Structure 1
Amino acid sequence: MKDYIEERAIEIADYIIATNATVRQAAKKFGVSKSTVHKDCVERLREINPSLASEVRRVLDVNKSERHIRGGMATKEKYLHLHKHRTAHA
């Protein structure tokens, strides 16, 4: 594996752990795809640094378990915003 890929995997994992970031947030921050973040943190990191891999896995698992809640909140915010916008212009 190339050095820059190993470095990126470690940087992404450190970022996710430090900020409790989602895969999507990490992908945006590092300018890579969600697939790359996932592969770096789940597959590649296991070979590079197993303890870091398990630490980042815990954060990703929590984020995944809360994903439906964040999605519901985003939808609620969207419709609250639309409703306020419509009533302001009515």
Structure 2
Amino acid sequence: MRQHIEERTVELGKYIVEKKCTVREAAKKFGISKSTVHKDVTQRLRKINLMLANQVGSVLLENKMERHIRGGNATREKYRHIKETG
């Protein structure tokens, strides 16, 4: 694996664990696609730093379990905004 890819992968992992952010938020911060972030932290990171990969996996699992709540809140906000402006 190329050095810059390994460095990016570790930085992504550290960022996700530190900020407890989503794949989408990390992709936006690093200026790369969500699929690249996902591949980096689920496949590549496991080969580089297993302990960090497990920590990232915990954050991603927590995000997955909360996904329906965030989606519901976003929908509620959307319709509240439409009601106020329309």
Name the count of aligned residue pairs: 86
Shift of 1:46: 0.4
Match of 2:74 in 1: 74
Partner residue in 2 for 1:10: 10
The structure 1 segments of at least 4 consecutive aligned residues displaced by more than 2 Å after TM superposition are: none
Deviation at 1:20, TM superposition (A): 0.7
CA distance in 2, matches of 1:7, 1:61: 23
Structure 1 residues 6-42: Cα deviation after superposition (integer angstroms, max 9, x where no partner): 0001111111111110000000100111111011001
* Structure 1: gaps of 5 or more residues: none
Give the number of the structure whose alpha-carbon radius of gyration is greater: 1
Shift of 1:84: 0.7
TM-score normalised per structure 2:
0.97
